[in-house]
Amino acid sequence: MEFCCQAVKQFYAYLITVSHKAKLSAETYALSITALYHWLETPDGAAGGFSINSMIPVQELSRFLVWRKTEGADERTIAKDISALRAYGDFMTSLGSWTDNPALLLEKPGYHRSLPRVLSVEEVDALLASIDVSTPLGVRDRALFELIYSCGLRISEAAGLLTEQLHLNERMILVNGKGSKERIVPFGGAAYEWLKKWLDEARPQIVGDKLVPTVFVNYQAKPLSRKGIWKRFQELEAKSGVTAKVHTLRHSYATHMLAGGADLRSVQALLGHSDISTTQIYTHVDNESLHDYYNEYFPQNIKPGTKK
C-alpha cells in the first residue's frame, strides 16, 4: 500500500515488526491513521494546530472520530479507528514523541455483532459434491475445500500452506495464522483421502519436476493465490446453488464442531482465536442431527467413551 507520509510508513513497519500484527490488520490501522492525517489537513482539523507527529489530545481525537462518523463510518469502523489510534499512541510513545497515550482514554462504541452465515450439513455436501473431480485441478479444488472445512482455515492460511506443514500420516497440519501465530489442527477422513489423491496423483501432473513449496498450485504450477481460491469458490457457488463465501466454510466448521459436542476452548484453539468471545458467537446453533455428521468429518475430536 502507498503511505501518505513518513510517520504512517514507520507506524506500519512498527506494527509488523514490533507488534507482530498480521499484514491486513497493519494495513487497516495504517488506513485509519491516514484518515487522521487527512483530517488534520482540513480546516476543521487544522484549527487545533496539531500534526500527525505531535501529541494529539483526547479532545481532538474525539473530534476526529465525530468527523469520521459524519463521513459515513459505522460503529465497527469507529471501533477499529480507536484501536488504530491506541496503537499509534503506543508507537509515538515508544519513540519519545508523545509523553503519554491520550488515545487510551477513548471508549469504543458498542455495536451489534451479527451472526455469521452458516451452511447446513446438506449445503456443505452439495457444495463439495458440485466439484468436477475428473481433472487434476478438480481434484485440487476438492482437496482444498475439504481441508478448509475440515480444519476451519482462513483463505490466507489455505493459500499459504506449505508441503512441510502438512503431516498426512498423522492427519494434522501446522497452520501459520494471524500475527504469525502457529497452531496444529487435525483433519478428518474425507480431507485425508482427497489430499492424498491430490498429492500422489493430480499435483505431480501439474508441477512435474518443479519445486513448489505450497500445497495448492494453479495450472501454471505457481502458488494458488487467495484471489484464485475466491474466484474458484464463486464458480462452485453458482454451480451448486449454495450461497456462501469461502469464509463461510470456517464459520460452518466452528458451528458444526460446537453443535457436535466439541468444547468451546478446544474450538477456540483450533480456530486460532485470541479471545474466546469471538468463538462464543458460534454457540447459537444447537442441532442434535449434527452429532453423526460431526463424528464423520471430525473423528479426531471424538472423546473416549463417546458413542460413534
* Residue numbers annotated as active site: 154, 178, 247, 250, 273, 282
Bridge partners, residue 185, by sequence: 173
Bridge partners, residue 217, by sequence: 223
Of 101, 89, 298, residue with least CA distance to 191: 298
Of 22, 106, 18, 26, residue with least CA distance to 61: 106
**For residues 176 and 188, what is the distance between their CA atoms, to the nearest angstrom?**
19
Q: Which three cell numbers stand for residue 93?
A: 510513545
Which region holds residue 162: left if phi is over 0, alpha if psi is between -120 and 50, else beta? Answer: beta
| Distance, C-alpha 54 to centroid of its chain | 34
| Distance, C-alpha 37 to centroid of its chain | 28
Is the distance from CB of 72 to CB of 27 less than 8 angstroms? no
Any idea which residue has 463424528 for its cell? Answer: 295
